[in-house]
């Protein structure tokens, strides 16, 4: 390899690009900021209870996020740690914004799964885990809030296996919980971290093993004996540590701690940067792209409008998959089949940005978007190829939308277009009345965010008329007149790519159309339809 190739390999090996997933209120944003503190990226963690008297979280940069105390869009946070370069993809925890999380997961090489020690595996965690399992993403588990009343650790491990179907290897093991929480024992490092309260720094003790007599002095005889029994049980009956199984997503390392108290987080991070994978290969429609392949390639996984409201800018987030990115380089925009100069490139810390001159596989780069990019676009400095399309999930809620003020029609149309292109909503038009606009969302809270952003960012007031539909199904081009369907329970629209889409009010309507139109195949996402078109 050339010196340049060696440099790309070395830089790629330093990258750790991961997402954090959890059910709402499990402490995801708190964990993110604890990691940022350890990396020296921030000096003070934001409190995220959503009260006006407290600072907003660093990763929650939208006005509505600060008002509600929730994350409604993915953000990118980048910082160095122990010679590694970490890219955190902080995703929304609220289930109403799960489509944004699904897309963001396609840019991650590994995932940190956060579990509430009192509540265990919750519904949104199950949904997000299933996406990770489909892609065989390595999963690292942090069981949070051990300083509060918690379930038995062995029960939590059993639930990981019973509900998620994944085996676990506890890297650390807790002593007590709630008011009796005393710390964690690191099984491989033979270190005990003594929890001395939220305002106190943990005492770290190197021991000879879990049977070290000094543990009795610190914990008391009963707690030390319980720790010894638990760890011996794990050694005999538990899973063996196996990095290959971890990288395949078959085994998850488990850590215990308290993100709010910043306890157990450093142990987790120290192990994570050593164990988590480097940038992984990416699938294209006709093969695989290796991170160390030359030249540069990447794909757009997210578009965000108005990150800087003063400039009304739009940023496309690019995941670098191979080769070296350099500012000003010329690449090929595959979908548009045209050359493109990447002169305006930035890296991010939430909404803050700096110009980036070069970047490597695993890195996330923001590109100024004058309207050229769509989610899933492939950029390549070499041969023309297409990465696998990103999934677009079926909306579950629909509304007809109009502008309250016809004098603001231009701002209204621009807002609809940009918010649909970034994936905040899905935009449809009536098949026979194209002036009628319909928006679809996965979760109802997305309607509220859409209305807020249209007012705040575009100065247009929307009027929503909610529709009784629950399902959207894409279908290959078919004469609308030839379809047999009930107009009262179904509606035919077109999406932004002019694909025909049927909206259904309930399961019965969906089954009825399928039975009455056996020649028509319905797809749950536009991804299935796109693949059919590419084959044809």
Q: What is the CATH number of the domain that holds 402?
A: 3.30.70.3280
94 is in an annotated binding site: yes
Most confident listed range (3-12, 139-148, 277-286, 349-358) = 139-148
Structure confidence at residue 19 as a pLDDT band (50, 70, 90): very high
502 is in an annotated binding site: no
State the total domains in the chain: 3
- Residue 534 confidence (pLDDT): 40
Most confident listed range (33-42, 154-163, 193-202) = 154-163
**pLDDT above 90: residue 344:** no
93 is in an annotated binding site: yes
C-alpha torsion 343→348→354→360, nearest 10:
-60
- Residue 351 confidence (pLDDT): 56
CATH number, position 294: 3.40.50.300
The answer on 180 and 257 residing in a single domain is yes
**Burial of 306: CB neighbours in 10 Å, binned 0-12, 13-18, 19+:** buried
91 is in an annotated binding site: yes
Percent of the chain with pLDDT strictly greater than 90: 57
| Residue 280 within a domain | no
220 is in an annotated binding site: no
22 is in an annotated binding site: yes
Q: What is the mean pLDDT of residues 21-25?
A: 87
- Residue 331 confidence (pLDDT): 96
Of 80, 112, 465, nearest to 259 (Cα)? 112
The answer on 142 and 46 residing in a single domain is yes
51 is in an annotated binding site: no
- Residue 287 confidence (pLDDT): 92
Structure confidence at residue 530 as a pLDDT band (50, 70, 90): low
49 is in an annotated binding site: no
Using an 8 Å Cβ cutoff, are 459 and 412 in contact?
no
Strand-pair partners of 517: none
**pLDDT above 70: residue 318:** yes
Give 263's DSSP letter. Answer: B
147 is in an annotated binding site: yes
27 is in an annotated binding site: yes
Give 480's DSSP letter. Answer: G
* 351 token code pair: 């909404």
Last residue of a domain, one of 321, 352, 380: 380
295 is in an annotated binding site: no
50 is in an annotated binding site: no
More confident residue, 392 or 18: 18
- Residue 349 confidence (pLDDT): 63
| Residue 81 within a domain | yes
Cis upstream peptide for 295 (omega within 30°): yes
405 is in an annotated binding site: no
Question: What does pTM read for this prediction?
Answer: 0.80
23 is in an annotated binding site: yes
| Residue 387 within a domain | no
Percent of the chain with pLDDT strictly greater than 70: 87
| Residue 3 within a domain | no
| Residue 5 within a domain | no
More confident residue, 75 or 506: 506
- Residue 72 confidence (pLDDT): 41
- Residue 48 confidence (pLDDT): 36
Least confident piece of the model among 11-15, 181-185, 198-202, 342-346: 198-202
Least confident piece of the model among 3-7, 485-489, 495-499: 3-7
92 is in an annotated binding site: yes
Least confident piece of the model among 37-41, 347-351, 368-372: 347-351
Residue 485 structural domain? 397-535
């Amino acid at each position: 390899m050339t010196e340049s190739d060696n440099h790309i390999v070395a830089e790629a090996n330093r990258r750790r690009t991961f997402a954090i997933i959890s059910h709402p209120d499990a402490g995801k944003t708190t964990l993110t900021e604890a990691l940022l503190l350890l990396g020296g990226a921030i000096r003070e963690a934001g409190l995220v209870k959503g009260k006006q008297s407290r600072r907003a979280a660093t990763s929650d940069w939208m006005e509505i996020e600060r008002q509600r105390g929730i994350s409604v869009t993915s953000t990118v946070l980048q910082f160095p740690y122990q010679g590694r370069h970490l890219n955190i993809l902080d995703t929304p925890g609220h289930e109403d914004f799960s489509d944004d999380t699904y897309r963001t997961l396609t840019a991650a090489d590994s995932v940190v799964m956060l579990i509430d020690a009192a509540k265990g595996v919750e519904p949104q965690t199950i949904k997000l885990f299933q996406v990770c399992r489909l892609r065989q993403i390595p999963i690292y588990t942090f069981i949070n809030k051990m300083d509060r009343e918690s379930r038995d650790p062995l029960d939590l491990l059993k639930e990981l296996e019973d509900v998620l179907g994944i085996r676990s290897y506890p890297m650390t093991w807790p002593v007590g919980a709630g008011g009796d929480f005393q710390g964690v024992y690191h099984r491989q490092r033979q270190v005990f971290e003594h929890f001395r309260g939220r305002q106190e720094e943990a005492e770290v003790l190197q021991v000879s093993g879990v049977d070290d007599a000094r543990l009795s002095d610190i914990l008391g005889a009963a707690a030390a004996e319980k720790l010894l029994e638990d760890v011996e049980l794990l050694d005999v009956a538990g899973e063996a540590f196996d990095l290959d199984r971890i990288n395949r997503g078959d085994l998850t390392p488990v850590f215990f701690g308290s993100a709010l108290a910043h306890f157990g987080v450093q142990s987790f991070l120290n192990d994570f940067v050593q164990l988590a994978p480097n940038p992984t290969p990416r699938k294209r429609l006709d093969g695989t792209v290796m991170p160390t392949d030359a030249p540069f390639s990447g794909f757009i996984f997210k578009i965000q409008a108005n990150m800087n409201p003063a400039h009304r800018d739009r940023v496309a987030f690019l995941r670098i998959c191979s080769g070296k990115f350099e500012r000003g380089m010329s690449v090929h925009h595959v979908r548009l089949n045209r050359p493109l100069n990447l002169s305006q490139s930035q890296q991010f810390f939430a909404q803050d940005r700096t110009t980036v001159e070069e970047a490597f596989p695993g890195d996330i780069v923001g590109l100024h978007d004058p309207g050229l990019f769509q989610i899933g676009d492939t950029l390549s400095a070499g041969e023309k190829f297409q990465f696998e399309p990103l999934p677009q999930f079926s909306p579950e809620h629909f509304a007809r939308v109009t502008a309250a003020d016809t004098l603001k029609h231009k701002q209204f149309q621009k807002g609809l277009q940009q918010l649909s292109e970034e994936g905040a909503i899905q935009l449809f038009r009536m098949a026979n009345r194209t002036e009628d606009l319909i928006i679809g969302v996965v979760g109802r809270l997305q309607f509220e965010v859409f209305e807020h952003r249209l007012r705040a960012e575009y100065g247009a007031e929307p009027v929503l008329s909610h529709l009784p539909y629950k399902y959207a199904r894409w279908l290959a081009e078919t004469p609308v007149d030839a379809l047999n369907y009930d107009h009262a329970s179904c509606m035919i629209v077109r999406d932004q790519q002019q694909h025909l889409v049927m909206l259904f009010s309930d399961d019965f309507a969906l089954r009825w159309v399928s039975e009455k139109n056996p020649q028509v195949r319905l797809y749950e996402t536009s991804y299935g339809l796109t693949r059919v078109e590419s084959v044809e």
